[in-house]
Structure 1
Amino acid sequence: MNRPAVLPWLLAAICFADYAALGLRDQARMLTSGFDLGIFDQAVRAYAHGQAPVTPLKGFGVNLLGDHFSPITALLAPFYRIWPSADMLLVAQAALFALAVVPLTRWAMRALGTWPAVIIGACYGASWGIASAAGFDFHEVAFGVLFLAFSATALGERRLTAAAVWALPLLLVKEDMGLTTAVVGILIATRGRRVLGLATAVAGLAGSLLEITVLIPMVNHHGYTYMNNVIPGASSASSAWGVGGLHADVHALVHAVAGLPNPVKIDTLVMLLAPTAFVALRSPLIWLVVPTLAWRFATDNPSYWGTGYQYSAVLMPIAAAAFIDGLIRWRRSGGRKSLIRSRIALAVALAVTAFLLPSRPTFGVLCPSNWSNSSHVAAAHQLLDMIPDGATVATTNRLAPQLTDRDTVTLLGTQLNLLRRNSWIIADTQGPPFPGTAAQLNQWLVMAQQQDGFRVVAEDDGILLLERTA
């Protein structure tokens, strides 16, 4: 067996085991949430039964395609029929993240040699953006990570048709990813394939515009509800988005970008580039991060600025590819000095990644305490088992993904006017309250008993199970 050929797959297998263990243990320990694992579980479950991706956690009758345009998740439907569980989504995400190691490592091996490839593959696998995403439920961006790894690798190797082919499916991942596709097209054009590059860029821009202004509003009559979230002061996008509305939104974007300097944003940029020893800046491939960073930094929502959650996952394969390309450009300059600089850069990348690793969720799988369940989790499972399959349940955020694969689940507190649709309520009063506060959660539970005909049928360790009697 050819050992160099096996190496990328070995790295991918190690990464997969780590990501999958993290996701499955989080689910087993009830550290996942209805927002977002439960939402995607409901959507994929609907796809698996040939239905529209309606997600009761978002609201009764709410189609997830009217929230974000992510039809790519329908590809998981056949697997869900075989393994109908939220666990399947976590394992699938782990596989998508891990498979991105393969094209990056293969390219690095061909261009730089075995040990540089091992270091770069390991640095991607242990990167903070992937770790944060793997430690926070399931998200459609897992597909984007894989597509970008293949597309950026193809760009770096000047396989320009392949780069375009891998970039176009990004349009099915999320409505903003068409902008990244457009940058892929621009880079293709600068490498000599102008017609192909222009076509890819136009497809990316037109695709995002179509999704935001037509396809999402077709499903959601409120239009694209994230426009104001991404561009402060912008109007909601709809099929009626006219010239005046477009002008206003562009003005709002310019106003937002003018205030970009911010310690959190700067920290994100440093965190992105430091694991590449800033060598990624030598490569034009680094331009692929601009669309994602632009909309995140332009918003007035601080949760988009930093290094948490899933928002930076798609940046990790780009940074790794730009790192490889930057090292190649150094090597092409020839001489012993460029070789020494490359080795120093690889050592810095490995050191920075190793320094950041202990603070990341993926490192937690090595802690023995993460492999045992608390008495609180055991009590929750006892009460969850009392809810019959096919029931309609209102629950708290942490308990939701424990039920979405078998019941119709809504989030307690978000749809009080629709509480009469539910037959059961199960609430963890000790868990982090979402939405609202602990006091509001207790108020909702009292209201359910006094006004909506629920009674407590079981209680254990701060977890209440209520059933409708009227």
Structure 2
Amino acid sequence: MAEAQGTEAHGTEAQGSGAQEATGARSAEAQARESAIPPQRVPSWGRSARAVSTGRLGDALPHLALSLFFLAGYCLLALLRYYRFGSPSWDLGIFTEAVKGYAHFGAPVLSIKGPGFNALGDHWSPILALLAPAWWLAPSAATLLVAQAALFAWSVGVVSDTAARVLGSTGRGVLVGTAYGLSWGLQRAVDAEFHEIAFAVPLLAVVGRQLLLRRWERAAWWALPLVLVKEDMGLTVAMAGALLVLCARRWSLGAVLVLFGFGFTALTMGALIPHFNPQHQYDYWSKLPGGEHPQLWQLMVVPFTRLTVWKTCGWLLGIVGFLALRSPLLLLALPTLAWRFSSANSMFWGPDWHYNATLMPILFLALVDGVDRLRRSERLPGLRGFAEGMVPASTGIAAACLVSLPVGLGGLSDPAVWTQGPHAAALRAAIATVPPNVRVEASMGPLAQLAARDDAYWLGGSKQVAPDYLCVDVAGWDGGPTDLPGYGAALHPGNHYTVVFQQDHVTVLKRD
């Protein structure tokens, strides 16, 4: 019996061993079949980024150094223009008054646009209040220029580090970050002095970063503050929500972001801005084709009839080798392009001023995504080499654009940038002649510096209030006034002004 039992036991072991062998064979066969099946294509941003950084300080140093380099360059460019009185517009004076108002815990009143004019009745930019602490430390228009340089430099580090993570190389990341920092959109914005979009640039860079790294909730949270930058940014927030739905299948999160973006834009344009506006309206409806009641076909057709629009699109996409077209991230740029190209104001159409700065982080992060997609593409193997070469080439393209558009850091090669000359000295002396905390009406050059310490008005822009001082710069003013006391009396009938300073075409007059 024992032998029989042993025989049965042996047979049982043999059967178990055979079953295990069969199971193993089937498992190996299944693995072979599975390995033969090509992996399913994952939707947009479905693959995790190649994490280069491990959170150590050493990994962040190249990107931090790049940010500091551009911070120094942007500050140098902006401050050189500021101290030689090269203001291209009255905008720096306007934003100086707004920040000064917030810093004094009051309304952001823009006397330059008119007595008692509230900045929130022009554009919805309450985010400017964040600059109040900086104003307490240094109450000067130059503070705004340094703040903008810091915000732009922050975005450089974000783009550089994100590119390193996605492309798997710190060197590639630094190359993309350098190209972005040199991009003509940022350079134009620095050249145009401070604007509220300075806050949108790093926010959009972080939103794009979180989307590429598949951090959906973080992307949504970083998108929300955009509605405090400018009223149209709510449309960009809505587009971020649409991307979460289309590319990440985050239905609830995306829908909330879409509704919030559209809703806040309607609230600001329809209620908040008119509430603070002197005429209780949103002034920029009239800029659309067809006036305040444009037809849909006008909004969709009119922009494509303008040659300048096509040129600007070429500049925007050309700087990234058109590879941004491979990324759904490019959709974030559509709301901004839509309102700009639909406007009746031709200034919005071209590559000038600051209007393209918010598009630069979107374009370069879309470039990073496009390069990564082409490297992994099985359908377009011929474009892999082009995608790889576009990373170092982007820096050369950005530098070439600066030569073609001699602004920003490219303009530092002009010797006139570094010299201030006797006219700047005369303007400084004129500003010193005007005491602080008075009502002063000034021409373009000294306006921002006077706005930092006085109640400043645009020359000839306010008929209701007679200023205590006039600061008039007639240099380069064709047909400018020669009898300046008479000019002051003509601007403000019933008042008499006496010259208290005159040097190199700059005159200061005091009201008797």
Say yes or no: TM over 0.5.
yes
Match of 2:402, SS?
A: helix
Cα separation, 2, equivalents of 1:221 and 1:382: 36
Deviation at 1:234, TM superposition (A): 3.0
Could you tell me whether the CA contact under 8 Å between 1:277 and 1:346 is conserved in 2? Answer: no
Give the structure 1 partner of residue 336 of structure 2.
292
Q: Quick one: which of 321, 338, 360 aligns to 1:316?
A: 360
Cα separation, 1, equivalents of 2:398 and 2:122: 35
Question: Deviations along 1:314-349, whole A, 9 cap, x unmatched?
Answer: 000000110011011012226985542222222442
Give the structure 2 partner of residue 386 of structure 1.
433
**Matching of residues 50-449 of structure 1 within 5 Å:** 50-112=105-167, 113-190=169-246, 191-222=248-279, 223-229=281-287, 231-235=288-292, 248-249=293-294, 251=295, 253-261=296-304, 262-333=306-377, 337=382, 339-358=384-403, 359-415=406-462, 417-420=463-466, 422-431=467-476, 438=480, 444-445=487-488, 447-448=490-491
20-29 or 351-360: bigger deviation: 351-360
Cα separation, 1, equivalents of 2:133 and 2:377: 50
- With over 3 angstroms needed to count, the CA separation of the structure-2 counterparts of 1:51 and 1:441, relative to structure 1, is farther
Cα separation, 1, equivalents of 2:222 and 2:501: 52
Match of 1:175, SS?
A: coil
Cα separation, 1, equivalents of 2:307 and 2:74: 30
- With over 3 angstroms needed to count, the CA separation of the structure-2 counterparts of 1:367 and 1:208, relative to structure 1, is same
Q: Which amino acid is 1:144 matched to?
A: A
Q: Structure 2 length as normaliser, TM-score?
A: 0.84
Q: Which amino acid is 1:117 matched to?
A: G
Match of 2:283, SS?
A: coil
Match of 2:271, SS?
A: helix
Deviation at 1:153, TM superposition (A): 1.1
Could you tell me whether the CA contact under 8 Å between 1:136 and 1:310 is conserved in 2? Answer: yes
Give the structure 1 partner of residue 507 of structure 2.
464
Deviation at 1:461, TM superposition (A): 0.8
- % identity of equivalent residues: 36
Cα separation, 1, equivalents of 2:482 and 2:372: 58
Could you tell me whether the CA contact under 8 Å between 1:67 and 1:216 is conserved in 2? Answer: yes
Match of 1:401, SS?
A: helix
Gaps of 5+ in 2: 1-55
Residue-pair matches, total? 449
- With over 3 angstroms needed to count, the CA separation of the structure-2 counterparts of 1:51 and 1:450, relative to structure 1, is closer
Match of 2:456, SS?
A: strand
- With over 3 angstroms needed to count, the CA separation of the structure-2 counterparts of 1:440 and 1:97, relative to structure 1, is farther
- With over 3 angstroms needed to count, the CA separation of the structure-2 counterparts of 1:181 and 1:423, relative to structure 1, is same
Match of 1:312, SS?
A: coil
Computed over aligned residues only, the root mean square deviation of the Cα atoms, in angstroms, reads 2.0
- With over 3 angstroms needed to count, the CA separation of the structure-2 counterparts of 1:141 and 1:441, relative to structure 1, is farther
Could you tell me whether the CA contact under 8 Å between 1:33 and 1:401 is conserved in 2? Answer: no
Could you tell me whether the CA contact under 8 Å between 1:413 and 1:441 is conserved in 2? Answer: no
Question: Deviations along 1:37-83, whole A, 9 cap, x unmatched?
Answer: 00100110110010010110011100000000000000000110111
Q: Structure 1 length as normaliser, TM-score?
A: 0.91
Could you tell me whether the CA contact under 8 Å between 1:425 and 1:465 is conserved in 2? Answer: yes
Give the structure 2 partner of residue 27 of structure 1.
82
Deviation at 1:419, TM superposition (A): 4.4
Deviation at 1:444, TM superposition (A): 3.9
Could you tell me whether the CA contact under 8 Å between 1:257 and 1:297 is conserved in 2? Answer: no
Cα separation, 2, equivalents of 1:458 and 1:161: 60
Could you tell me whether the CA contact under 8 Å between 2:371 and 2:388 is conserved in 1? Answer: no
Match of 1:426, SS?
A: strand
Match of 1:27, SS?
A: helix
Cα separation, 2, equivalents of 1:345 and 1:441: 60
Match of 1:60, SS?
A: coil
Give the structure 2 partner of residue 455 of structure 1.
498
Q: Which has the larger radius of gyration?
A: 2
Q: Which amino acid is 1:356 matched to?
A: C
Could you tell me whether the CA contact under 8 Å between 2:469 and 2:510 is conserved in 1? Answer: yes
Gaps of 5+ in 1: 236-247
**Matching of residues 28-43 of structure 1 within 5 Å:** 28-32=83-87, 35-43=90-98
Give the structure 2 partner of residue 242 of structure 1.
none
